[in-house]
Amino acid sequence: MHPETAYLDLLRRVLEKGSYQNDRTGIGCYSLFGDQIRFPIKDTFPLLTTKKVFWKGIVEELLWFLKGDTNNKNLKEKGVHIWDGNSTREFLDKTGLTHYKDDDCGAIYSFQWTHFGAEYKDCNTDYTGKGVNQIDWIINEIKTNPNSRRMMMSAWNPADLKKMCLPPCHVSAQFHVRDGKYLSYVSA
C-alpha cells in the first residue's frame, strides 16, 4: 500500500472509530489509541500530513534538537517560529516557569535527547559532559551492537516535566537493525 494511502486510511479510521476528547489547547481531538502505520524509509521521508509544510522549519528544528539547544532565539534567527508561542513571557509565566527568560523552552526534547538525567538550569548553561547523550549512545549501539533490542531513546522524563515549556508529544523512539544493514525506527 502506498504510504499516503496508509495515512489517509488511518485518518478515516480515526474519524469513524475514534473517540473525542478534550486537550490542552481547548480545541479537542479525535483519537484512536494504539493504531499504527508503517513506512519504508530507505527511499523516502515519512512526512504525515495533507498540508503544505515548511520543510526548512522541520530540518532546522531537528538540528536544534540534535544539538541539545533549548533557546528558541536560535530557531527564530533562522526564520523558524515553531516554539514561539510556548516560549513567550506570558506562556512561561502561565505554566509556572517564571524564572525562565523569554525564549527558554526548558528541559524539552533537545535536552532529554542529549543530556538525559542532568539538572536543567537554563538555556544558556553549558551542559557538556552532563547527563546521558542518548543520540550518541544509539549511534554507538547501531555501530557496535546492531543486534541489540534495547536501542531506545526517551524524551519522557517525569522528573523534568515541570521544567519544560511543553511536555513531549513524541515520547520515545526505538531503533532496530535487520540483517546488519537495514535500520528501522518506531516512534510513539
Identify which of 140, 121, 167 has the alpha carbon closest to the alpha carbon of residue 23: 167
Which amino acid would we find at residue 57? Answer: G
C-alpha cell read off for 75:
530557531
* Measured CA angle at 39 (ends 37, 40), to 5 deg: 155
Choose, from 29, 105, 123, 169, the residue flagged as catalytic.
Answer: 169
| Contact of 183 with 142, CB cutoff 8 Å | yes
Please say if 165 is a catalytic residue.
Answer: no
C-alpha cell read off for 168:
513531549
Identify which of 176, 175, 178, 174 has the alpha carbon closest to the alpha carbon of residue 188: 174
| Contact of 84 with 102, CB cutoff 8 Å | no
Q: Which are the catalytic amino acids?
A: 169
